Amino acid sequence: MVVQATTPLETLAPESVRARDPNQQATPQIVRNFVLPGSSAGTAIRFLAQSEVTYAIPQGEASFFGLLVFGEYGRLPVPQGQPAAFNRIRVRFLVNGKQTLEALMDHTTPAIEFSVPTAGGTKLAIVSDAQFSGAPFYLLQAAFSEAKRPAMSSYRLRPGEGYVEFLPLPRHLLFHVFRPSEPVPISAYFSGDATHANVAIRIQPEQGSAAVSSQALDVPLRLAAPGVASGTTNWSAPSWRGPAQVEIEERVAGRTVFRRSLRVAIAPDVDLSRTIKNNFGVHISTSGFLWLADEYASLWGAKWGRVYVRWSIVERNQGEYDFSRIDAVVDAYRRQGMRVLCVLGETSPVWAGAPSPEFYTSWKRFVAETVRHLHGKVDHWDVFNEIDVKYYSAMNQADQQSDLKLLDSAMDAVKAVDPTSKLVCCSTGTYAWLLYDKRLIDAGLLGKLDYVSLHPYQGTPPEEKDGVFDYSGRIDALANLIALYGRNNPIWSTEANWIMGPRGGPSINAPGIDEHTQAEFVVRVNLLSLARNVPYFLHAPFYHGQRPQLHLDTLSAYANMASLLSEARVAMKLASGPNVYALAWDTPQGTVGALWSVVAGARVRISRTAGIRFIDLYGNRLAVDPDSVPLSSEPVYFEGERGTRPSLAILDPGSGPAWQPLPTLETWGRSSASTYATTGTGVHVKSAVTQYAGQLVSQPLHVAKETCYVASLDVRLRAGSLMLAVVDSKTHENLGKADIAYVPDDQVRRVELRFFSGSSIAAQLILQDENAYVPTFSEFEVSRPQIAQCR
């Protein structure tokens, strides 16, 4: 018997180690006495996902083999009350740059025995990716061998243990996305003596009335690896669409040997390679380097991807440009048939220092080099992200004109390299965004821009005001400001979403909603935006750090919307509030419309639509009488023949909130430093110069526990900015706030504040100055305080 020599991987040093994140250390670590359940202790090599580690293949070695084990940090930290969440990773083995084996793993994946042929190769690269950072994986008994072995993988199971691989493709395992009626290969494994496995799959829709899908599969088994039998067959995804709960069970000889439950999305595939014009966008990549979510952004059906090129990553050392990381990001979107909006800036390298003449020169050079390098790959340039946030925090401490110099020099640099390029700016993100836009326009930047952008985050439904504006009101306010300067630049919404998570958590703007509500809001705001021809980029669509579970309800609804309206053209506004919304578009397939209501009990009639048929939020057929269509907060679509011009009649507008007047403003507390005068309908107030100061404070108001309310005021703002806040009258805990900041225009505006009472039984409204960035006085008139329970 000839014993084949091996070279253990632990005896070799990597030729190169490259982390996706240049600030992260990814050198493999030797772990002694590593214990795999069911095995004795041994030596393992710990790798950090999001890295590429390359080894020289020893001369004469024909294969590489070992045991691949998912790391110990599969479970992700989640806020209290949220369901468990888990990381998912992909590991690829490449020989001389060519992939020979791919392994997909989550927290349920058993250890994987693998081998890859290396004959004739000189380099072995172990390339790994994860959905979240910090995910380790291990190689055990990894070695090069003179023996020739094929590319293969199998699962190592303990005696009597089973496993079902029913998520075979990357989009299945990594993102839990299936296509309607899709045939899916399934493999059953069992460690022991068996010839058959019975696999039961039950898929229950989370929404709607579709029938539960149950499939029972008899899988013949045969010995595939020492002690492990396996077999393969197919199962079919249901024909209906939407988020669903899947339960899978494997039984051998009448005994359950494997069981798992998980959520999935059954959603249509949008062929972006054939989609020319699509106003839908996603904003996934903010880090400046590649993540798994970037590679599967097209699952949403959006044509646009917004990505960051970070100066601090590209030019870590002055004058040395490394575009490899942003190349990987941009190439990933291009491979998916997507267009790219690339953000310049956001962070600067340490060596650049604070804003100075040298800083601006280096910045302009970086912009020029970036545009030159990515020419032909990037469709539009987004000049800096939320520069108002940076300006109002630290940037202006070194130079109060730093923001203007950065923007102006970047715009000039882009156009100098590529005069045909399109510029988007300035993606504002503070409460005073409209005032900041006026600052930029007054500085003469508007004429250099092709598109003016904003980040219209709000915590309320898109049709409801969050302070002064609802979503459409924000677009109108910006358009009106632009028009004052004789321009008509198109507007883009380049980043927004309803970020779910714990109340008070970082970046959380919608703590009180569930995922289905998020799905409704996201679809509705995109429909409103599409009707105005305003591209809308959904931020953090797959998941968020404060809520790492996959957003499968939202994905299902969004992908259906994109499949229906990717090529939408002329918009027809049949009804635009205040209770009922009805929109329709011409598409190559025919007329497509959407109907919804923000109140209960609304009902409409649709006529003059030949061949009309109705479908739900996810794309399932509905049996609806067009003469009496009941509406809810969940949009319903209708389709008709091409050239149809539908007509809408509102049969019942539904019932809105029951507003109750609050005690007169004469009873509200006042500041001793301000002046007050009674007007015909309310109070005129002029404050002292301040940042924050309460101007009017209501008496304690009785509220029911765990109840949603909306408070409102009429305000005519003459100077400064304001905030309407609500606090618990005993603990003074903040229950909510709404900003009142815009360019004063002598109009009376209705201001609304939605809040959740929680455990409070008494609350107080506070109308106060909000001149956070530049202390000044506020002057305003206020009247008609009211309150209602949320609709």
pLDDT in tens, 70-120: 987 567 888 877 888 889 999 999 999 999 999 999 999 999 999 999 999
Q: Is 358 within 8 Å of 348 (Cβ atoms)?
A: no
Number of H helices, E strands in the chain: 12, 52
The pLDDT assigned to 73 comes to 58
| Token pair of 494 as six digits | 């380049």
State what percent of residues in the chain have pLDDT above 90. 87
Same domain, 365 and 224: no
Q: Does residue 527 lie within any of the structural domains?
A: no
pLDDT for 587 beyond 80: yes
Same domain, 676 and 642: no
CATH code, domain carrying 229: 2.70.50.50
Same domain, 166 and 85: no
The pLDDT assigned to 96 comes to 98
Q: How far apart are CA 596 and CA 579, in angstroms?
A: 9
CATH code, domain carrying 49: 2.60.120.1060
Same domain, 670 and 594: no
Q: Does residue 78 lie within any of the structural domains?
A: yes
Q: Is the bond into 426 cis (omega within 30 degrees of 0)?
A: yes
Same domain, 308 and 170: no
| Tens digits of residue pLDDT in 574-584 | 999 999 999 99
φ, ψ for residue 105 (rounded to 5)? -140, 145
Q: Does residue 486 lie within any of the structural domains?
A: yes
Boundary of a domain, candidates 95, 121, 155: 155
Same domain, 190 and 299: no
pLDDT band at residue 2 under the 50/70/90 scheme:
very low
Q: Which residue reads 């083995």 in tokens? A: 93
The pLDDT assigned to 747 comes to 94
The pLDDT assigned to 744 comes to 93
| Token pair of 685 as six digits | 């107030």
Same domain, 36 and 129: yes
- pTM assigned to the model: 0.96
| Token pair of 153 as six digits | 């993988």
Which residues partner with 607 through β-bridges?
A: 647
pLDDT for 3 beyond 50: no
The pLDDT assigned to 40 comes to 79
Higher pLDDT, 203 or 512: 203
Q: Does residue 567 lie within any of the structural domains?
A: no
Q: How far apart are CA 419 and CA 416, in angstroms?
A: 6
| Tens digits of residue pLDDT in 175-218 | 999 999 999 999 999 999 999 999 999 999 999 889 999 999 99
Q: Does residue 101 lie within any of the structural domains?
A: yes
Read off the pLDDT of each residue in 303-327 and give the average, rounded to a whole number. Answer: 98
Same domain, 433 and 473: yes
Q: Does residue 229 lie within any of the structural domains?
A: yes
Same domain, 326 and 436: yes
Higher pLDDT, 5 or 607: 607
| Tens digits of residue pLDDT in 642-694 | 888 899 999 999 998 999 999 999 999 999 999 999 998 899 999 999 999 99
The pLDDT assigned to 116 comes to 98
Cα dist from 317 to 312, 322, 348, 349, 363, whole Å? 9, 10, 11, 8, 13
pLDDT band at residue 398 under the 50/70/90 scheme:
confident
The pLDDT assigned to 75 comes to 77
Q: Is 464 within 8 Å of 755 (Cβ atoms)?
A: no
Angle CA(331)–CA(332)–CA(337) in degrees, nearest 5? 90
Same domain, 73 and 102: yes
Read off the pLDDT of each residue in 426-430 and give the average, rounded to a whole number. Answer: 92
Q: How far apart are CA 135 and CA 47, in angstroms?
A: 9
Boundary of a domain, candidates 652, 670, 696: 652
Which residues partner with 527 through β-bridges?
A: none
CATH code, domain carrying 606: 2.60.40
Residue 266's closest CA among 635, 552, 621? 552
Cα dist from 566 to 126, 141, 191, 269, 331, whole Å? 38, 50, 48, 12, 22
- Helices 402-417 and 357-373, axial angle in degrees (round to 10): 30
Residues in the chain: 791
Cα dist from 328 to 24, 291, 309, whole Å? 18, 10, 11
The pLDDT assigned to 1 comes to 35
Higher pLDDT, 607 or 610: 607
Q: Does residue 515 lie within any of the structural domains?
A: no
Q: Could you list the residue range(s) of the whole structural domain that residue 296 is in?
A: 280-508
Summary mean pLDDT of the chain: 95
Same domain, 504 and 424: yes
The pLDDT assigned to 95 comes to 98
> How many structural domains does the chain have?
5
Same domain, 471 and 378: yes
